[in-house]
Structure 1
């Protein structure tokens, strides 16, 4: 199970007017615990005004950089992001969960694959880690980035992307699309969507030249780009996506669980120990565990980050929302406990699998 430790902020840099890049100092004794794959994320835990806030942010440093860095973009009414952009400073202490996430493909230094990334706004964050790590690890890889923003001023990592182009001239290419600022070529105006994706494969590169496509950003953008990818011949195994949580998204118990009378007996395996609790079928398993004072991992509670992932070992559990688990994980019995409810009277789940 993912643990959390108090880490010291060693760097805070302004990247755009509403975005900071934060680097954490990882002590020698915790280096192994904070080893990560490109595209993974961290959950930051901070007590603000007596309330514990947990927020997930993608790692933007490459695996080879030997540092732990995230980007935090301030969002409207975002309590943690507003605090971080206004107040976070070098020397501050924050509890940080160990890395998690499955937004990557295993790399092979003997391959000659071509990758494409489609990003919108802060969706560039995990893709920066993926792009840098891939180019450094696979010397024959080629990477193309299609990056949408409102304006040039709001574009996160704009100079870093240019630096990558200068460093990997023959293997990295990128194109900017702006929705609220006119560019000289009409094609690059507007949002990344299904039609724009299809046009990219007609104007810039043939779809059959790409081995894997990564997509990250808001729901509508991801859905549109994936539709464009599939209509252009991409298979599910070639498409990798990660959605951001919509603020305030709440799970609602499915009819099967809500209609079951009485309470469910739940056995939860956490760090090798078994804990037994009882709770209403209409309460999400994660919420039941928290109410039972169990130390279970969680972050977004919106079915996105996968921090609360567990495997169903016994019983009938229904998951109402999944925006993070791969189909093969669901088929193997994994659920996101923040979005899952006990339908049978007894269930057993393991957070250790």
Structure 2
């Protein structure tokens, strides 16, 4: 891993840049746009792209010429992806260095490799505001999707209910704290309990939660929703582990939840691997290390990247 890799992440509302030298991150910067999107109760794609364009030159100001530029090509919001990819392509042309497009959802799984050795094969579970997906990773260059959400992602469900309860966007951290401190619960349904698949569905939990609005305290309602979301995740994990008895790496913003981590460790022990909370949310460190892992497998970077909001392959 002797490459010097510059990584850029602009899939949603975080602008991030990182530099990986060999196996060590020597520079990492993340600029949050939460203050910008709080007024909308969610991410406004065009506003996110404009902010990325304003912030990237500042984050890249002191960056030296790398051997490779790795940039998030998808999945994500198209205007945001276009901004990051356009900047990466411009730098690639100017510096005459190759560029590699990275799937930032799979990169959430690869993030764990920055903190410990990951032996393949592994299962990957990404739980975030925009994605809830299972992966089978036998090769980093060929991740296989095993399951996905039919509707809302886990974080999206929490944010939508949080907004209805008057919480600030994003609501995940506040709901997580309530789940840890409030012991009272109301029972909510277990989604897809009769479906023998590895898929998810959270829209029904959102509907079930909102039926309780005004009938119980907002605090109990939020804690009960978090419990139901985690129960759904545990149920799906049990199913996938029966078929694929591999270690499970869990990443994505929602996976930073202390309540979720506590429950998963109770159920699955050391079989579950989490990156640190800082590496679980969107960052460029994970994009850089995923690119390094791809290089180790012999992937040869090119000179062109196309943004893809629905990207399924690990790289391009």
Question: What is the TM-score when the length of structure 1 is the normalising length?
Answer: 0.32
Q: Which has the larger radius of gyration?
A: 1
Q: Which has the higher helix share?
A: 2
Question: What is the TM-score when the length of structure 2 is the normalising length?
Answer: 0.34
Structure number with the bigger relative contact order (C-alpha 8 A, sep ≥ 6) is 2
